[in-house]
Amino acid sequence: MKNRVGLTLSLLLACLAAGVLAAAVLADTPPPVPTVPTDTTTTTTAVTVPLGVTLAGVPVGGLAQDAAVQTVQQWFGRPVTLRLARTTISVTPDLLGTTVPADTAVAKALTVAPDTELGLRASVDKALVQAFVAKLAARFNRKPVDSRLLLRNFKPLVTTSVPGRRIEQGAAVRAIADELSLGTRAPIPLPATVLEPAVTEKSIGPVIVIRRGSNLLTLYTGMRAVRQFAVATGQTIYPTPLGRFQIVVKWKNPWWYPPASPWAKDEKPTPPGPGNPLGTRWMGLSAPGVGIHGTPQDGSIGYSLSHGCIRMHIPQAEWLFEHVDVGTPVYIVAG
């Protein structure tokens, strides 16, 4: 009995000792470290163009790369304005083949010091610019319009002259290409040459109007009456022709030669002098055999008594001779 009790006691002590040993082992083991989730995303600072930097005058300092590229493209994408007299023409750069290396320029701008001014030029398709300017020339070029001399109510009427215009295409192409390349977009006056009319209101010189029915000759300068004279015109059988003619020859102290007409078959040539039928001045017209001249037969003035010519008092014919030229228009009307 004592032996059994002693064995039980020994087993109990052994178990207690083993528990104490186990507790000691667990205390010496370091506690597990808790797992903390890690964030693998890397945070980066946005790259911007240094402050104060400009590209072709466009401020891009402080802008991110994409924003700077967009700003430059918008700047160069503005329309070009052309002016011709009172006409304004607008054209977008892309229609003229304009391209801007904005990406490359901004990439360089990112590397420079603050307040750096960088240049930038766009490229332009000159063939497109030339074609565009050619269309403008076809649309806006115009020929000058000369004044014309007409007759209204027995008086000269001079129409208004109009200057012409020619666009200088070479200069226009250069101006437009430069503006597109630089991007400044200042309005461009289209270079054009004014084409002056050959005949204007002021260049219309002397004009003679002869009213056959009234036996009156009026000298005009353009539409302004200068002086009027009584004259003699042709008889019914030898009428002064009607129409528009011009002075083709002027002679001082002319010879008179008999015309091939029945009334002059027995006449002979007459040298210059007091008895000359032409007086002292002859202004031959483009109507064959017809002219304006002086006459010693003063009594015929104011009547239809000539053989087709226009007779004047000799001093008045001399005055008229000095105020007209070869080429002066002469209107002979019935009134």
Which residues does the annotation mark as catalytic?
A: 293, 309
Nearest residue to 184 via CA among 90, 103, 76, 95: 76
Where are the alpha helices (H) located in 77-163, listed in sequence order? 102-109, 126-140
- If you search the block for the tokens 């304004």, which residue do you land on? 88
> How buried is residue 26: exposed, middle or buried, by Cβ count under 10 Å (0-12/13-18/19+)?
exposed
Distance CA 278, CA 258 (A): 11
Q: Which of 329, 68, 78, 94 is nearest to 186 (CA)?
A: 78
> 138 to each of 12, 23, 134, 162, how far by Cα in Å?
123, 108, 6, 18
**CA–CA distance from 200 to each of 119, 155, 208, 236 (Å)?**
51, 18, 18, 39
- Identify whether the C-beta of residue 147 lies closer than 8 Å to the C-beta of residue 161: yes
Closest CA to 122 of 53, 73, 82: 73
Rounded Cα distance between 71 and 59, Å, is 9
